[in-house]
Structure 1
């Protein structure tokens, strides 16, 4: 497995995996396949060029099997924070340690961002494997949002979690 930063040249394969994620696990994402399938490829290129975020991809046998994006907060009073969004591992890649490797590399990269002190993420409360993974890497739950997402008239609760990169000094 190779983990590397995705660039604008990876926009096509990133888009394919993103749409797969939204089709396979619609309950896990605020975005909807029906919306994102219409997005132009240039939007994906622009996202991969952003100075306020980065996306890592995990490749097995030259196939993109997992992604994770870290988005830095922009407002002055929130610049010490970032959010993990759009994490996904393909069904073929699950159970191979891809998710853990992506998270570990993201945390490592985040520690190198000047002023960044904490990373947030949300996870659907029914996603036990993801919750175990996040807990194993130190993400602590601080709130549960009831009925956070609604898909096909079914509500999904989300846990909000945080990882503190350094102690208050």
Structure 2
């Protein structure tokens, strides 16, 4: 098995992360459908710069094996005072890296980072109900289902429920004790 390294995303990752975002849209996992996809490498570079400049407010991590990017995780908090105690993340992996530990490594690194983010008490995410492998990973890391939006996503003529999942910070932080 390849050694997977997790590190903060950097500008040179933008090309591979754009390719991953486009693939994610084509698979139906992203917010945009393939024909609506408009993200550019410059957009991704700006997101990376934002994550780098707002320490504790946002986080972008890249998973790589050698010189190959396996996936990424992005987390952003709202600037509004009422919502600053929580933030949302998204994660995506190239298909050849799914089920090989990259997602688990991203989650471990992200939760360790989240433990140090001042005032962060809750982490949320959205996942398609049919994405059982992602749901299983999130449950393994202590995320619970908070809600289900019925027939919320329509892609290629099929409806799918969208699940809202969250994890609250415990006394010992977000980092899972057994994973």
Normalising to structure 2: TM-score of the pair?
Answer: 0.85
Could you tell me which residue of structure 2 aligns to residue 46 of structure 1? Answer: 46
**RMSD after superposition:** 1.4
Query: What secondary structure, in the 3-state scheme, does the structure 2 residue paired with 1:144 have?
Result: strand
Deviation at 1:114, TM superposition (A): 0.5
Q: How does 1:71-150 map to 2 (within 5 A)?
A: 71-85=76-90, 87-150=91-154
Note if contact 1:54-1:70 (Cα within 8 Å) is conserved in structure 2.
yes
Gaps of 5+ in 2: 172-179
Could you tell me which residue of structure 1 aligns to residue 176 of structure 2? Answer: none
Deviation at 1:39, TM superposition (A): 3.2
Which segment is superposed worse, 72-81 or 46-55? 46-55
Could you tell me which residue of structure 2 aligns to residue 162 of structure 1? Answer: 166
Could you tell me which residue of structure 2 aligns to residue 7 of structure 1? Answer: 10
Normalising to structure 1: TM-score of the pair?
Answer: 0.90
Q: Which runs of 4+ in 1 moved over 3 A?
A: none
Query: What secondary structure, in the 3-state scheme, does the structure 1 residue paired with 2:99 have?
Result: coil
